[in-house]
């Protein structure tokens, strides 16, 4: 029985190559994609979960169109609202694992912190927190970062799958997770590479991170294309000329 999910390639993601391909894709219209990315992030962040889905769908519509050799206009970003429901479902599903994994760890850390920090006794104010507090704090931060990285990798392909393969939100999440598991090393390397560029952008007076965002998303679109090759659009054959026409 044929699989209901799109076929994908395994072990094909080369992080540096994706970054180069992403930059090559948008460099001739970089300022347009900078504007598209900023508007997508601002609108999507205005109402988290509700608007981030359609905005990400619109952003990948623009990127995938450019990769096909088209010249997308700014208005194409808002075509992401054509995928409002699947985008919303995909965004909501991505939040659940983070809440399930990180919130209990945060509660445990908070209870531990309150039980180990010095009290409000004026004679105890000069006391420093015990060393175990800082150890647990570091472990919690490492855990939270690891969870965020893994979830980012697993769901990285969901939005382009929605707009490119017309999947539902749930099917896009499942397909993204399946494909990401088969390309986990390459996708993780790409996410870490973009995280490194973002850190360099933050070091550059914080403003630099804005300018690397379009390149990061373009590299993710390039990784998506390495895993899910483009499907050529088959043209319907032209109808035969009517009888008695003058066509040669």
User: What is the per-residue pLDDT across 220-241, written as a single tens digit (0 to 9) for each?
Assistant: 999 999 999 987 654 445 455 5
Q: For 183-202, how does the pLDDT look when each residue is reduced to its tens digit (9 = 90+)? A: 999 999 999 999 999 998 88
Flag whether 233 is in a domain: no
d(CA 63, CA 61): 6
Q: For 159-188, how does the pLDDT look when each residue is reduced to its tens digit (9 = 90+)? A: 999 999 999 999 999 999 999 999 999 999
What 207-213 contacts at long range (C-beta under 8 Å, 24+ apart), as own/partner pairs, is: 210/34, 210/38, 211/34, 213/34, 213/37, 213/38, 213/41
Phi/psi of residue 168, nearest 5 degrees:
-70, 165
Flag whether 242 is in a domain: no
Instruction: Quote the domain boundaries for residue 58.
Output: 15-118+129-226
Domain count, the chain: 1
- Specify the pLDDT at position 240: 59
- Specify the pLDDT at position 1: 42
Task: Write the DSSP string, 8-62.
Answer: --SS---HHHHHHHHHHHHGGGHHHHHHHHHHHHHHHHHSTTTTHHHHHHHHHHH
Flag whether 244 is in a domain: no
Task: Write the DSSP string, 51-90.
Answer: THHHHHHHHHHHHHHHHTT----GGGGGGGGGGHHHHHHH
Q: For 107-151, how does the pLDDT look when each residue is reduced to its tens digit (9 = 90+)? A: 777 777 777 666 555 555 545 567 777 787 788 888 888 988 999
- Specify the pLDDT at position 115: 73
d(CA 121, CA 130): 16
Q: At what angle do helices 208-227 and 15-26 cross, to 10 degrees?
A: 110
- Specify the pLDDT at position 225: 96
Cα 110 from chain centroid? 30
Tokens of 9: 């390639």
Reported as a pLDDT band with limits 50, 70 and 90, residue 246 is: very low
Flag whether 5 is in a domain: no
- Specify the pLDDT at position 66: 97
d(CA 153, CA 86): 19
Flag whether 236 is in a domain: no
- Specify the pLDDT at position 96: 85
DSSP assigned state of 2: -
Task: Write the DSSP string, 149-162.
Answer: HHHHHHTTTHHHHH
The model carries a pTM of 0.83
Flag whether 9 is in a domain: no
For residue 244, how many C-alpha atoms fall within 13 Å in the half-sphere facing its CB? 0
Flag whether 221 is in a domain: yes
Could you tell me how many helices (H) and strands (E) the chain has, helices first?
A: 9, 0
What's the whole-number mean pLDDT along residues 32-51?
94
Q: Coil, strand or helix: which one is 231?
A: coil
Q: Over 90: is that where the pLDDT of 61 sits? A: yes
- Specify the pLDDT at position 239: 55
On whether the CB atoms of residues 66 and 220 are closer than 8 A, the answer is no
Average pLDDT score, the chain: 86
In the chain, the percentage of residues whose pLDDT exceeds 70 is 84
Flag whether 1 is in a domain: no
Tokens of 3: 């699989």
């Amino acid at each position: 029985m044929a699989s209901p999910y799109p076929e994908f390639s395994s072990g094909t993601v080369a992080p540096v190559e994706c970054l180069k391909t992403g930059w090559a894709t948008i460099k001739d219209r970089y300022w347009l994609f900078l504007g598209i990315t900023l508007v997508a992030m601002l609108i999507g962040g205005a109402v988290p979960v509700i608007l981030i889905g359609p905005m990400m769908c619109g952003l990948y519509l623009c990127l995938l169109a450019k990769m096909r050799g088209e010249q997308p206009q700014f208005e194409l970003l808002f075509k992401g609202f054509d995928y409002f429901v699947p985008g919303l479902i995909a965004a909501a599903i991505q939040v659940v694992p983070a809440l399930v994994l990180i919130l209990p760890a945060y509660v445990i850390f908070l209870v531990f912190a309150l039980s180990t920090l010095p009290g409000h006794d004026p004679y105890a104010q000069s006391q420093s927190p015990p060393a175990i507090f800082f150890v647990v704090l570091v472990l919690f931060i490492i855990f939270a970062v690891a969870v965020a990285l893994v979830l980012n990798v697993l769901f990285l392909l969901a939005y382009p799958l929605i707009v490119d393969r017309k999947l539902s939100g749930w099917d896009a999440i499942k397909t993204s997770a399946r494909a990401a598991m088969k390309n986990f090393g390459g996708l993780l390397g790409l996410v870490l590479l973009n995280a490194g560029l973002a850190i360099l952008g933050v070091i550059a007076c914080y403003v630099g991170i804005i300018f690397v965002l379009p390149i990061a998303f373009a590299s993710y679109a390039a990784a998506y294309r390495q895993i899910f090759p483009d499907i050529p659009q088959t043209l319907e054959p032209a109808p035969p000329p009517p009888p008695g026409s003058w066509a040669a």
